[in-house]
Structure 1
Amino acid sequence: MRHRTLTGLAAALLLISASAAAPALAAGPVLTARIVQTSVWNTGYGAEVVVAAGGQQSFGFNADGAGLPSGCTVDGLPCAGGPAPTSPIPSSPTPSPSRSPGPSPSPTEPTGTVVDVSTADQLDAALVEALPGQTIRLAAGEYHGPFLIRRPGTAGRPITLTGPRTSVLVNDGPSGAAPPCPVPTTGWDPGYGLWVFAAPYWNLTGFTVRDAKKGVVIDGSPHVVVDGLHVHHTDEEGVHFRRSSADGVIRDSIVEHTGLTQPGYGEGVYIGSAGSNWGCHGNSDGVDRSDRVQVIGNRIGPYVSAEHIDVKEGTFDGVIRANTFDGRGISGRNSADSWVDVKGIGYTIDDNTGTFATPGTFANGYETHNPTSTPAFANGCGNVWRANTADLGGVGAYAIRVTSTSKCAGNPNVVYASNSVRNATAGLTNIAVTP
């Protein structure tokens, strides 16, 4: 840590100690302090300083560099509190996408305490008792059970669930009688690997979810960040932003081997809900408005049996950037025959790389469709493609196929000349290219 940061920290400690010990400092108990890392990122970390003397006071700080403060004193005496952790929170092990992810939002680093868990029961308890700013840190190992998040974080103090790739969440369900619509219900396990329900501002970083009916399901929970997860071997979709889970992010993650038992519903990343499901999931004036979801720098596929990214009608203004799509294993079931199907509005789709090779059923790299379930919206319109690279394996027709221009006359889709295609049976796109 830099010297100027240490100086500020020492001054803060002295101020707290003076207020805690006054007025009879000499006769009072000896103050102690301990410094605990609460989060770690590439260029620094967050920590909490706890000063104790009968009661205790604490404050948090962010620091540049990796070292903990040294030479800490309170009232001129050494900070003789409990030792700092010997190992920091692990940084998320992330795949290296073929292209730079570009700018993406960075979640506010948590500033609360760290809760270490190593068993399924401990994880359940930590999720039930989670507080804003807290970090729940998974030890390596398998955690079996239905894991449900219902405690909200805040914009300034999100809650973080983190662990290495060798921390694996597995759901052996489903079981019990399901309610008419998926909501947490006593005695029912939906089979989801991790379910975030009405719990905004969570960061999910680094760990693995596998062998579940669905991988990660985010319901009614805006501002959830999925960062560096590995989601694989799911019966249906891998990661789903649903019930108006707006402003979410999935980045630097791997999603593969989805749709093992329901190939037509084995999407890699699923944004929103089909209009036919708004009776359950249409919680924003009857519509699932999972708007502004960003899918950045991920590797999706192979053996994602439906679309790698399915963008549903009624959602707006998302970003699909710098992802790598491996189309091997696309099933063609339920019209799933492209990397990305855009039924939403105003999406930016740029700098992605897609390939296809057998086995699989493949029609086009990117497609738009125009469902009429929301007459007030021009679904499948106003989307933009730039600098995407497509190899259709000699099977696919167009890199980008726009289903209708007439339905989007007032908000057209735009395909720029910076996109490129190889091994296509028809060409780059079926609409005029914008220079």
Structure 2
Amino acid sequence: MSSPVNRPLMAAAALGMVVTFGAGWAVGHSGDDEKNSAERTVATPAPVMPPTPAPTESSSTDGSGDAMEYEQLDDGSGEEVGTAAARAKLPAVNKWKKAPIGVFTCPKATVKVATSDQLQKALDTAEPGASIQLADGLYNGEFRTTRDGSAAKPIYLCGSRNAVIDAGAIKGGYALHFDGATNWRVDGFTVRNGQKGVMVDRGRGIGLQNLLVERIGDEAVHLRTSSRRNVVRGLTIRDTGNRKPKFGEGIYIGTAESNWCEYTDCKPDPSNDNFILNNRISGTTAENVDIKEGTSGGVLNGNRFDGSAMTEGDSWVDVKGNGWLISGNIGVDSRADGYKVIEILDGWGWRNLFSANRSTVRGNGYAINVTKRHSGNVVRCNNTARNAGEGASTVKCRK
């Protein structure tokens, strides 16, 4: 959850108007909360970038020859910046194409399960290359695995939406927990009625695909404690925060600084290089996505956000990490902002890139609210905003 941030006073954007973040309209403000505004221009929304991923490594250019991924920006304030900020790199605008795990198809089952006991046994004994198939039906309980697949032979866990993992209580534990497990491919089934839905701790190379995660006490999906290079793709997430609304995020990446001593030896949680792609998130009481301080280099692309159920969050996405690409997303209905970038801890919330996002805010904030101006965050002029009460962005856009 983000803390409230004081906003500069600003004339409200006309409701129903779609605006690009062009130089002729962009709004900026200085450190003493003064602002300047210019004429607004009307334009049609920018197209969303195609969501087709490729399981290859990230490129250093944006397709035009500009080495955006490695561009280092001066904060412009003349002051020294924190170590984390100094290391942060602006991501390539096409990094969304370079997901470490591509779209996958579940292979023929090597293990078929139909009961809770059979499922837990399969999770306890899975070897690289195994393919676990869930029969349709109800799997009551909390399920956990520590098993490793390999990059060449991942472990598959697959079922239809009618195969339902049900943890039984929104005040319980984790419905499905990958605890130090690596190289899994998880597809298709339903997860519900846990305090948390899918938890990944110290997970590497895990692909979560096409799941339905619903009726959750706190957050639906959480990547935590150095979970890296995982892909969350095509999930439907809804109805979270039933235990405590302030913890009801859809997808939560990393660990809040207040919990670092509990989970990461009082150091930042480097849950880095995770890709959050093409998910549909609604019915969350807190943010649809919360990107925590300490995380770097991730991608948030092609998602659809709906903030109409938020009672605690004030933006679809809180960005407190560094070097994230936030691109090609569509958002509707927020209490305040569409996206909010926050330096909650010195040197974090830096050098993130916003490109080709389409925002219908219907709230009293900004489409993209960068709360610390001199933080190297870049808002491209191809973002569009509708019904954002305070305007499109707090920073001038860049082409």
Unaligned runs of 5+ in 1: 1-97, 176-189
Equivalent of residue 338 in structure 2, options 341, 365, 373: 365
- The question of 1:379 aligning with 2:356 is answered no
- Give yes or no for the alignment of 1:219 onto 2:201: yes
Of the three residues 88, 96, 102, the one matched with 2:52 is 102
Matched, 1:309 2:276: no
Deviation at 1:107, TM superposition (A): 6.7
User: Offset at 1:286?
Assistant: 2.3
1:325 matched residue in structure 2:
305
Q: Distance in 2 between matches of 1:253 and 1:174?
A: 20
By how many angstroms is 1:396 displaced? 3.2
Q: Quote the residue 1:131 is aligned against.
A: 127
User: Equivalent residues in 2 for 1:386-397 (5 A)?
Assistant: 386-393=355-362, 395-397=363-365
- Residue 249 of structure 2 corresponds to residue 281 of structure 1: no
CA distance in 1, matches of 2:108, 2:377: 45
Q: Distance between the aligned counterparts of 1:403 and 1:174, measured in 2?
A: 34
**Computing the radius of gyration over CA atoms, which structure comes out larger, 1 or 2?**
1
Identical pairs, percent: 38
Partner Cα separation in structure 2 for residue 140 and residue 326 of structure 1:
30
Equivalent residue, structure 1, for 2:15: none
What residue number does 1:434 align with? 398
Q: Quick one: distance in 1 between partners of 2:208 and 2:192?
A: 15
Say if 1:316 and 1:345, in contact at 8 Å, map to a contact too: yes
Q: 1:143-162 counterparts in 2 under 5 A?
A: 143-162=139-158
The residue type paired with residue 356 of structure 2 is A
Task: Measure, in 1, the Cα distance between the counterparts of 2:103 and 2:154.
Answer: 8
Q: 1:15-414 residue pairs with structure 2 within 5 A?
A: 100-103=50-53, 104=99, 105-106=101-102, 114-173=110-169, 191-282=173-264, 286-301=267-282, 303-332=283-312, 336-356=313-333, 362-372=335-345, 375=346, 378-393=347-362, 395-406=363-374, 408=375, 412-414=376-378
Scaled by the length of structure 2, the TM-score of the pair is 0.74
What residue in structure 2 maps to residue 416 of structure 1?
380
Instruction: Answer yes or no: is the 8 Å Cα contact 1:325–1:355 preserved in 2.
Output: yes
Distance 2:217 2:270 in 1: 25
**Hey, what's the Cα distance between the residues in 1 that align with 2:170 and 2:309?**
25
Kindly provide the amino acid, as one letter, of the partner of residue 341 in structure 1: D
DSSP-derived class of the 1:365 partner: strand
CA 1:113–1:232 in structure 2 vs 1: closer, same or farther (change >3 Å)?
closer
2:200 counterpart SS class? strand
Tell me, what secondary structure is at the counterpart of 1:344? coil
| 3-state SS of 1:234 partner | coil
| Cα offsets for 1:128-176 (capped at 9, x unmatched) | 111111011000011001100111111111111100011110112588x
Contact 2:169 2:193 in 1 (8 A): no
Helix, strand or coil at the partner of 1:277: helix
CA distance in 1 between partners of 2:315 and 2:288 (Å):
8
Query: Contact (CA 8 Å) 1:352, 1:388: kept in 2 or not?
Result: yes
State the Cα deviation string for residues 83-110 of structure 1 (Å, max 9, x = none).
Answer: xxxxxxxxxxxxxxx9742324317778
* Contact residue 291 and residue 321 of structure 2 kept, 8 A: yes
Shift, 1:371, TM fit? 2.1
Offset, 1:111: 7.4
Cα distance per residue 1:31-51 (max 9 Å; x no partner): xxxxxxxxxxxxxxxxxxxxx
Task: Measure how far apart 1:330 and its partner are.
Answer: 0.6
Distance change in 2, residues 1:152/1:107 (3 Å): farther
Alpha carbons 1:344, 1:381 under 8 Å: kept:
yes
Distance in 2 (alpha carbons) for counterparts of 1:159 and 1:153:
5
Separation of aligned partners in 1, 2:118 and 2:222 = 26
User: What amino acid does structure 2 have at the position aligned with 1:236?
Assistant: D
CA contact (8 A) 1:365 1:396 kept: no
1:261 Cα deviation after fit: 1.7
Tell whether the 8 Å contact from 1:300 to 1:324 is kept in structure 2 after alignment: yes
Aligned mates of 1:206, 1:110 — CA distance in 2: 10
Following superposition, the deviation at residue 280 of structure 1 comes to: 2.3
Unaligned runs of at least 5 residues, structure 2: 1-47, 54-98
Amino acid at match of 2:284: V
Contact 2:268 2:293 in 1 (8 A): no
What one-letter code is carried by the residue in structure 2 that aligns with 1:218? V
Alpha-carbon separation, structure 1, partners of 2:145 and 2:161: 20
Partner of 1:67: none
State whether residues 108 and 156 of structure 1, in contact with CA within 8 Å, keep that contact through their aligned partners in structure 2: no
1:170 and 1:110, CA in 2 relative to 1: closer, same or farther beyond 3 A?
closer
2:31 aligns to what? none
Distance in 2 of aligned mates of 1:155 and 1:241? 19
Distance 1:120 1:99, change over 3 A: farther
Count how many residue pairs are aligned between Structure 1 and Structure 2. Answer: 306
State the alpha-carbon separation in 1 of the partners of residues 390 and 212 from structure 2.
Answer: 35
1:368 partner amino acid: V
Over 3 Å counting, the alpha-carbon distance change for 1:132 and 1:107 in structure 2 is: farther
The one-character-per-residue Cα deviations of 1:46-73 (angstroms, maximum 9, x if unpaired) are xxxxxxxxxxxxxxxxxxxxxxxxxxxx
Deviations for 1:343-365, whole angstroms, at most 9, x for unmatched residues?
A: 00000011100001xxxx61100
Describe the shift of the 1:173–1:233 C-alpha distance in structure 2 as closer, same or farther (beyond 3 A): closer
Tell me the distance in 2 between the aligned counterparts of 1:146 and 1:366: 33
